[in-house]
Amino acid sequence: MARPIAGATISFGLVSIPVRLYPATQSKAGVSFNLLHGKCGSRLKQQYICPRDGEQVSRDDMVKGYEFSKDQYVTFTPEELKALEEKATQSIDIDAFVPLSAIDPIYFERPYYLGPEKGGDKAYRLLTEAMQETGRAALARYAARGKQYLVMLRPSSDGRALILQELLYADEVRPMSEVPLPEGEAREAELKLAKQLIDQIASETFEPSKYHDEVRERIQADIERKVQGQDISESAPAPEPARIIDLMAALKASLGKGTGKPEAAPEAAPAEPEAHHPRRGARRSEEAQAAPAEPKRAKKR
C-alpha cells in the first residue's frame, strides 16, 4: 500500500476537496557506482577544500551565498533563508480548466497520484467525473517545499482518479527556434511509403509492460558475472548504425519488417514494355529463320 507524502486541499470556486499526494513513479534509471581507493578498496568520502587557503571546511563552518556579480557573494543565515521560502499553504488553487490536448507534454514534470482525504470522497468523485466527461484538465498553483509550483490536474485513463502533474514554467523550456530545422517538403512518393511503414507497425494502445530498460538489465547481468569472478572485459562489438544512402530504397526495405516478412529488396528499374517495340518480336523470328542451320555431324561407323 502506497504511503502519502503530503496532504493538500483542491480549491475551485467555493468548493474545497481535501486530498493526499502519493508518489506515482520510482526512479530506476542507471546503475550507480561508488568511488573507492584503488590501493585498499575503501570507499572514499567527500571533502570540501577552500581554494584560497587549502583548508578543509566542515559543514559547521559553511554558509550559503548568492553570486550577484563575478566572485561577489551575499551570504544568508538559516533564518533568512527560511524567510525567503514560499509559505507552504498546501492549497491547490485551480486557476482555469483547459482542454487536455492544449498542454504540450514538453512542459510535463513529475506526476503524483491524488487520493481523497477523509470527508472528501463525494467532491473528489464529482470533480473527477466532470473533468473526464468534459475532456478538460485543471491548471493550478501549489505552494509546497518552499516553492510555488505550476501544476495540472487530470483524470486517470480509467476516469476514477486524479493525477497531479508538475509543469515547467515558460522560462524553463527552451524555444524551438534555437534548433536548426530543414527547409522544404517531403516528396509525395516518399511520404506515401513512410505512411505505409507507420500503418504497418501502428497500435491503438500503449502497453508500458512491453518495454523495459535492456541496457540496465545487461549492465546488472554483467555486474553479477563480475561478482561471480567472471571476466567481462570482452563484449560484443556494437552494431554500426545503418547509413541512409537512398531514402526510397531504405523505406522500401523497411516495409515488411514489422510483420516478420523478409526485407524487400530495392526494386530494379522496370523493363521497357514490349508494346513500345511492335517489330522486335517479329524481327527475332525472322532472324531465327534466316540463320543457317548447324550442319549435322556424320555418325561414326
Q: Is the pLDDT score of 124 beyond 90? A: yes
The CA-atom distances, in angstroms, between 298 and each of 32, 87, 168, 301 are: 90, 117, 98, 9
Rounded Cα–Cα distance for residues 153 and 103 (Å)? 11
Residue 100 has pLDDT above 50, yes or no: yes
User: How much is the pLDDT for 143?
Assistant: 86
d(CA 100, CA 135): 6
- 184 belongs to a structural domain: no
Helix, strand, or coil here: 122? Answer: helix
pLDDT digits (tens, 9 = 90+) for 250-293: 888 888 665 444 444 444 444 444 444 444 444 444 444 444 44
For residue 168, what are the domain limits? 6-24+86-172
Would you state the pLDDT for residue 256? 63
- What CATH number does the domain containing 93 carry? 2.40.290.10
285 or 176: which leads in pLDDT: 176
Average pLDDT over residues 33-40: 91
Cβ–Cβ < 8 Å for 138, 97: yes
The answer to whether 138 touches 99, Cβ cutoff 8 Å, is: no
Do the domain assignments include residue 244?
no
Other beta carbons within 10 angstroms of residue 173's beta carbon come to 12
What's the confidence (pLDDT) of residue 276? 45
Domain count, the chain: 1
Q: Could you tell me which residues are beta bridge partners of residue 144?
A: 147
Q: How far apart are CA 75 and CA 66, in angstroms?
A: 6
Query: Distance between CA atoms of 4 and 211, rounded to whole angstroms?
Result: 28
Identify whether 168 is part of a domain: yes
Mean pLDDT of 295-301: 44
First to last CA, the chain: 104
In a domain, 128, yes or no: yes
Residue 236's pLDDT is: 66
Q: What's the pLDDT at 286?
A: 45
Residue 280 lies in a domain: no
pTM of the entire predicted model? 0.66
**All three cell numbers of 102:** 492544449
| Residue 32 within any structural domain of the chain | no
Three-class SS of 21-77: EEECCCCCCCCCCCCECCCCCCECCCCEECCCCCCEECHHHCCEEEEEECCEEEEEC
190, part of any domain: no
Rounded average pLDDT over 5-24: 91
Q: Is residue 220 part of a domain?
A: no
